Amino acid sequence: MSIFDGQLIIEVASASGIEAVTKRELSRLGYEPSGANFGRITFDGTYTDVLRANVFLRTANRVRIVLGTFRAETFDELFDGISRIEWKDILPRDAKIVVNAKSHASKIFALSATQSVVKKAIINSLTKAYNCTLEERGAEYNIEVALVSDEATVTLDTSGEGLHKRGYRTYLGDAPIRETLAAAMIELSVWNPDRPLIDPFCGSGTIPLEACMIGMNMAPGMMRNFACEKFSNAPNVREEVQKEAEELLNRDKILKISGFDINPEAIKLSVRHAKRLGVEDKIHFQVMDMRNVSSRLSHGVIITNPPYGERLMSEAELKVLYSDFGKMTKGLDEWCVYAITSYRAFEKYYGKKADKVRRLYNSELECNFYTYLGKAPEKPHS
């Protein structure tokens, strides 16, 4: 029997600050997620649910299957705990086994030694179970052991490359934002697909493209494959999940999404990425200085990742840019503004105190996500 034939504990990893967004996504998919612990959220499901999570989640980093949990304060306890897991139900005899380790507030903290002990225990178990020498020539199975306060959690990665890699962004502009963070910023905003959206610093187009995918109900993992699809002992359910994604996709949705950037090369990248995604007719990209951005529409939403950091701009240039950004947004009728930056004096130079500030991370860089709310559009009379 394979582990993939029964009920599973599925673990979703999410970046710090957006765990609540990922939990809401899981709830919308019909699951009952646990509370987040160190950015990890669990729920019960089948192998089909593993693949659904990979295909449909917009803000998660990766999806893993929990293989076991136990207490381990010594390498002997770690070896014994790993050995108690039924590895024959998980790994075929030709599995290429890769082990990663993490440790936080635990007596076992030497990661290289941890990886060696774990792999030795797995190989020992499989050699006995299959009664043969293992050659590791098949599909790669990435095992992670996370030690937190001396509790070991053993998981199998099912995603492969991080879930931020949707498949449409093959070229990167300056200081790109991850697709998963862009999606989280949109989910944290008041934007909905019937409202206009502008990114005046769009770079290679990630925020407008993620908004377009949300607006069309396009599953972010439709264009790529996942590590678990190569597992020889896992059922083939991709066609079933892909069919669900296709049925939910609304290709006819009319959207009012625009991306502007002062750099012509950035706009070229944006258009190229939109074509790869098949949505070039859904988004308006244009070379334009942020200071000249305007709209005849009201009650729209600006969501943006403006330049910040010494690599792109000096502090003096940032102050002028943010001041001009604040002036530009004043000219937009009742628009909401959302901006992420690591520059701590953003509010001062933007010229207004934010209605809300949330801490998010752009890769490893700690940033603030500033919210400025405009007047909500009036609801139509019934």
How confident is the model over 79-113, as pLDDT tens digits? 999 999 999 999 999 999 999 999 999 999 999 99
- CA dist., res. 78 & res. 150, Å (int): 10
Q: Is 308 helix (H, G, I), strand (E, B) or coil?
A: coil
Give the rounded distance of the alpha carbon of 301 from its chain centre.
22
Query: 223-227, 243-247, 330-334: lowest mean pLDDT where?
Result: 330-334
CB 141 within 8 A of CB 91: yes
- Pairing mode of beta strands 140-148, 40-45: unpaired
Q: What is the per-residue pLDDT for 330?
A: 95
Of the candidates 217, 167, 174, 177, the one whose C-alpha atom is nearest the C-alpha of residue 303 is 177
363: alpha, beta or left? (left if phi > 0; alpha if psi -120 to 50):
left
Q: Tens of pLDDT along 250-277?
A: 999 999 999 999 999 999 999 999 999 9
| Residue with the two structure tokens 């009319």 | 254
Q: What is the per-residue pLDDT for 173?
A: 61
Token pair for 87:
């590895």
Q: In what order do the strands lie in the sheet with 60-71?
A: 40-45, 8-14, 60-71, 151-157, 140-148, 96-104
CA dihedral 332, 277, 235, 43 (to 10 degrees): -10
Token pair for 322:
């943010």
- CA dist., res. 209 & res. 279, Å (int): 8
In the chain, % of residues over pLDDT 70: 97
Distances in Å between the alpha carbon of 356 and those of 17, 189, 222, 376? 14, 11, 34, 16
Distances in Å between the alpha carbon of 186 and those of 199, 206, 208? 11, 11, 9
Q: What is the per-residue pLDDT for 328?
A: 98
